Amino acid sequence: MPVPSVRAARVPALAKINLTLKVLHKRPDNYHELRTVFQTISLGDWIDVEYRPAKTTRLHVDCNPEIPDNIILRAANAVLHEMRLKAEVHFHLRKRIPMGGGLGGGSSNAAAVLLALPALAGKRVPIDTLTRIAATLGSDVPFFLCGGTALGLSRGEELYPFPEPGVSHGVLVTPRIHVSTPLAFRRLRRHLTIPHNSRIINSFQSFSWEVGDNLPAASWREFCQNDFEEVVFRQHPEIQRLKKKLISSGASVALMTGSGSAVFGFFPNRPDAVAAAQVFPDAESVVFRTVKRARYRSLWWESLEAHALDHTWPPLSRYAE
Ligand code: C5P
């Protein structure tokens, strides 16, 4: 069968929120030890990918506004290198996820490239290899190779499946404030020494045993905590005001995600979420629902239908020998 000159797909890159985020001690490598629960949500970017085998690698990302040092290029170079392939790849990024909001937009874009290119190129790259590459690109990138709800340990790159809440409706509010993640970590003033019992968080542990599938995320109030709130709210009191406004608009839980600046709130149903979103200026708020792992994978299978075998994860190329 002749090799087609171009293989193209439009792939999803969903955002994440942190349902809980605990920062423990600083590590000798200057990263911090985390205990977090990641959750994919329906807000996402789309990436059009056009792949052509070539004698020399040429990559291009088309995005408005342009993103300097786009992580998409680093991800593409890394996975092409792993596959020992040279190619011309054109990416058109339709950016919907606000940048610098703690929503993992760049990380999700990078993971999307790691999932898409092997399927288009006709190579099998096992999930543990993709995870290793993902962790070199950023601590949050491996999560987007899984999706759904996952417990993140270590830098956040060591992932385990976590009981998935029932699909929950939420409002995300993204103020125009860029919080620097390294600076937010520094402001936490965590030390290198491991405080007594800090590796184990009993409340975290007992909650993870108690939650059953389909308990709505809105019932997770006791569990939803973010250690960054204190330091980021001190610096930017307007973010705390947004959180309070979500609660006064009827949110059962409201929390900042990652190191901010976005905050989300969960509502009993979609109409309540839509009504609450109207309290915020349009540019700032978006209604979302949580996306379970099965749905996350289905989105990928639909996007790569022409190139990958159904129900394989990571999507396995139809062209692979
Ligand atoms: O891994 P990533 O590139 O996303 O991390 C950005 C920065 O956030 C790191 O350089 C580090 O300063 C900080 N960080 C950390 N501990 C983590 C994750 C990130 O201190 N677990």
pLDDT at 9: 98
Which atom of ligand 1 is found nearest the CA of 107?
Answer: 4
CB of 164 closer than 8 Å to CB of 213: yes
Q: How many Å apart are CA 98 and CA 45, to the nearest integer?
A: 10
Residues of the chain above pLDDT 70, percent? 98
Alpha-helical segments (H) within 122-152: 127-137
For ligand 1, mutation pick of 21, 22, 181, 228 (most atoms within 8 Å of CB): 181
Which residues form the catalytic set?
A: 16, 140
Residue nearest to atom 13 of ligand 1 (CA): 182
Q: Is the pLDDT of residue 135 over 80?
A: yes
Which atom of ligand 1 is found nearest the CA of 185?
Answer: 20
Q: Is the pLDDT of residue 222 over 90?
A: no
Residue nearest to atom 11 of ligand 1 (CA): 182
Residues of the chain above pLDDT 90, percent? 83
Mean pLDDT of 25-34: 94
Residue nearest to atom 14 of ligand 1 (CA): 31
Q: Is the pLDDT of residue 260 over 60?
A: yes
Mean pLDDT of 116-138: 98
* pLDDT band, very low/low/confident/very high, at 4 (cuts 50, 70, 90): low
Q: Is the pLDDT of residue 3 over 60?
A: no
* pLDDT band, very low/low/confident/very high, at 206 (cuts 50, 70, 90): confident
Residue nearest to atom 19 of ligand 1 (CA): 31
Using alpha carbons, list the distances in angstroms from residue 239 to 39, 78, 105. 21, 36, 20
Burial class of residue 168 (count of CB atoms within 10 Å of its CB; 0-12, 13-18, 19+): buried
Domains of the chain with CATH codes? 7-162+294-313 (3.30.230.10), 169-289 (3.30.70.890)
Tokens for 76, please give them. Answer: 């593409």
* pLDDT band, very low/low/confident/very high, at 111 (cuts 50, 70, 90): very high
The count of other CB atoms within 10 Å of the CB of residue 265 is 26
**Residues in the ligand 1 pocket, defined by CB under 6 Å:** 31-32, 34, 138-140, 155-156, 181-182, 185
* pLDDT band, very low/low/confident/very high, at 1 (cuts 50, 70, 90): low
For ligand 1, mutation pick of 32, 69, 179, 259 (most atoms within 8 Å of CB): 32
Which atom of ligand 1 is found nearest the CA of 140?
Answer: 4
For ligand 1, mutation pick of 99, 185, 187 (most atoms within 8 Å of CB): 185
CB of 87 closer than 8 Å to CB of 121: yes
Q: Is the pLDDT of residue 197 over 80?
A: no
Which atom of ligand 1 is found nearest the CA of 34?
Answer: 21
Higher-confidence residue of 4 and 199: namely 199
pTM: 0.95
pLDDT in tens, 282-299: 779 999 999 999 999 999
Q: How many Å apart are CA 61 and CA 71, to the nearest integer?
A: 10
* pLDDT band, very low/low/confident/very high, at 214 (cuts 50, 70, 90): confident
What's the CA-to-centroid distance between 226 and ligand 1, angstroms? 16
What's the CA-to-centroid distance between 30 and ligand 1, angstroms? 8
